């Protein structure tokens, strides 16, 4: 029995070391190629994960929050500058109140923990921006948002956009109102005028959605453009890991290189 325990312990150490080596190898390989500047995530499948694993919906969302921290650390380590998350849609307010309250509590607790010492925020000097119809949120969540944004406002390394009480159409409508008010004349409005009034100005280089659902769900409609690839992953968000992200980025790099080659050949 003792020999078996020693063997299992040794095997576990070897396996852990091997996985760390593979992860480091993948990371260094990816760094050799182009890296998207702005990646957007639709983190879908927390409730499906809960159902499949016979846990509560709250536990499913909690597992998703843990996955998020790992993926953000990996993405920022690779050199991605801006990450945008679809945390809570305006449409989510139509869910049962118990589910809405659970998500709000998770958002509040996550925000209060996310920028502490020894976190990915401190490691990568991340500025956190929470955008959307924030006036629809309760005071506790608003307080957590204000504290988080104030604590990270001077960070210059990376940017994390957290979209709460948000839809792309509402963002566009808000930008139009602000642009018309600022310009004074519709004739002066240009595409760049609207872009300047969006919550997030940086175009999306890569959109990722988990849980195998093929739709944008009204997320970042303005920031997506003709060259924005949309990767739909069959895994639920809590199961989405470093290998999944690595494979997606390798595909993005190959696609990007083909576009660059085609562009060069077209100008010969």
pLDDT, tens digit, 9 for 90 and up, residues 177-188: 999 888 877 777
For residue 25, what are its two tokens? 């190898």
Regarding whether 16 and 82 lie in a shared domain, the answer is: no
Regarding whether 3 and 120 lie in a shared domain, the answer is: no
Residue 23: predicted pLDDT: 63
Q: What is the pTM of this model?
A: 0.87
Mean pLDDT of 216-238: 95
Percentage of residues of the chain with pLDDT beyond 90: 71
Regarding whether 189 and 128 lie in a shared domain, the answer is: yes
Regarding whether 252 and 134 lie in a shared domain, the answer is: yes
Residue 256: predicted pLDDT: 83
Q: Is residue 266 part of a domain?
A: no
Q: Is residue 265 part of a domain?
A: no
Total number of domains constituting the chain:
2
Q: What is the CATH classification number for the domain harbouring 184?
A: 3.40.1180.10
On the question of pLDDT at 80 being above 80, the answer is: yes
Q: Is residue 90 part of a domain?
A: yes
Regarding whether 208 and 165 lie in a shared domain, the answer is: yes
Residue 43 dihedral angles phi and psi, to the nearest 5°: -85, 80
Distance between CA atoms of residues 122 and 117, nearest Å: 6
Residue 104: predicted pLDDT: 95
Mean pLDDT of 112-131: 90
Regarding whether 40 and 15 lie in a shared domain, the answer is: no
Regarding whether 41 and 28 lie in a shared domain, the answer is: no
For residue 75, what are its two tokens? 């993405």
Distance between CA atoms of residues 215 and 89, nearest Å: 14
Domain that holds residue 214: 36-258
> Residue 268 — pLDDT band, cuts 50, 70, 90?
very low
Distance between CA atoms of residues 184 and 25, nearest Å: 55
Residue 3: predicted pLDDT: 66
Mean pLDDT of 80-106: 94
- Active-site residue numbers? 44, 92
Residue 42 pairs in a beta bridge with 209
Regarding whether 147 and 17 lie in a shared domain, the answer is: no
On the question of pLDDT at 52 being above 70, the answer is: yes
């Amino acid at each position: 029995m003792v020999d078996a325990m020693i063997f299992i312990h040794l095997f576990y150490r070897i396996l852990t070391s091997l996985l760390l080596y593979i992860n480091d190898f993948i990371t260094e390989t990816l760094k050799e190629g182009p890296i998207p500047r702005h990646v957007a995530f639709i983190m879908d499948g927390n409730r499906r994960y809960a159902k499949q694993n016979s846990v509560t919906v709250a536990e499913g969302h909690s597992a998703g929050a843990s996955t998020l921290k790992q993926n953000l650390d990996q993405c920022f380590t690779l050199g991605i500058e801006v990450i945008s998350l679809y945390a809570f849609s305006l449409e989510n307010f139509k869910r049962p109140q118990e589910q809405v309250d659970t998500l709000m509590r998770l958002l509040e607790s996550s925000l209060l923990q996310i920028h502490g010492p020894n976190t990915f925020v401190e490691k990568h000097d991340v500025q956190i921006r929470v955008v959307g119809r924030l006036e629809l949120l309760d005071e506790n969540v608003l307080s957590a948002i204000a504290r988080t944004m104030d604590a990270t406002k001077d960070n210059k390394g990376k940017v994390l956009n957290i979209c709460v009480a948000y839809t792309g159409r509402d963002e566009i409508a808000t930008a139009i109102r602000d642009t018309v008010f600022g310009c004074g004349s519709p004739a002066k409005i240009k595409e760049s005028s609207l872009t300047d009034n969006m919550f997030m100005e940086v175009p999306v280089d890569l959109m990722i959605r988990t849980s195998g659902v093929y739709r944008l769900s009204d997320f970042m409609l303005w920031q997506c453009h003709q060259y924005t690839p949309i990767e739909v992953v069959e895994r639920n968000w809590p199961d989405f890991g470093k290998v999944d992200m690595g494979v997606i980025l390798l595909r993005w790099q190959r696609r990007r290189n083909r576009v660059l080659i085609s562009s060069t050949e077209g100008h010969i």
